[in-house]
Structure 1
């Protein structure tokens, strides 16, 4: 019985030593006090990380509806401020028709803001033509000096709204 307890105690002591040692030289699982920047994420804003994505590529409004809702996911890297502008685009020739009339969840007019990876915008149906409408969304982020930055590849989207 004494030998079984000795073997169990030895096994537990050995496993605790293994658990507290580094797994490899470049492991993130360490308690070693080294250069802390090697274990942190780079928080430098990066315009290539910016993106805007709608939950749907088109919306069909119910007859008599007075509003439509556009929502989706977004990422602003680590830029401190952002804004998503909504404009009406001519479906036939792509020309600018004016701002899309609406508000975001916090009440901002004609724009929305990316918050916690999501955005939400409620548009007014009265600003749309009967039939097919195209809404263009452009997300602009601003650096700490309030200089506007856009990533046209990932932060400009369109959605079709049928009224």
Structure 2
């Protein structure tokens, strides 16, 4: 075997070992790569109580119950399934019913998700009315680029 052939065999073997290592890592991490699980995913996977994961979805309408001691109970839904969540702490400013959230924690034996952190997802289409008006005046606004600010986000007295 010539020197060139030995080098090619060595490179081929190294690439084979590297490919095997990457495949093993991807198989080991296939469930951990998900950013969050929806309530439907959680019930389909039959997640065991005490297993830490991220639960994401929308805060169900009419489900937020606040306590004097910063304890909050609410439901997270994905439209198909709903999971009750208990959290103690200060909620993000963007937290409200109908808003997307991601919580991190674990299920208890009663099926309630005990969250130790709550992240509220913002609407990437939101733009304050003043900024939208300024863009329209400058001619940089294209109709359909953005949605108007929701009524709750507009200052009182502001009109569309």
Higher RCO by CA contacts (8 Å cutoff, separation 6 or greater): 1
Q: Where is the helix percentage greater, Structure 1 or Structure 2?
A: 2
TM over 0.5: no
> Normalization by structure 1: what TM-score?
0.30
Q: Where is the strand percentage greater, Structure 1 or Structure 2?
A: 1
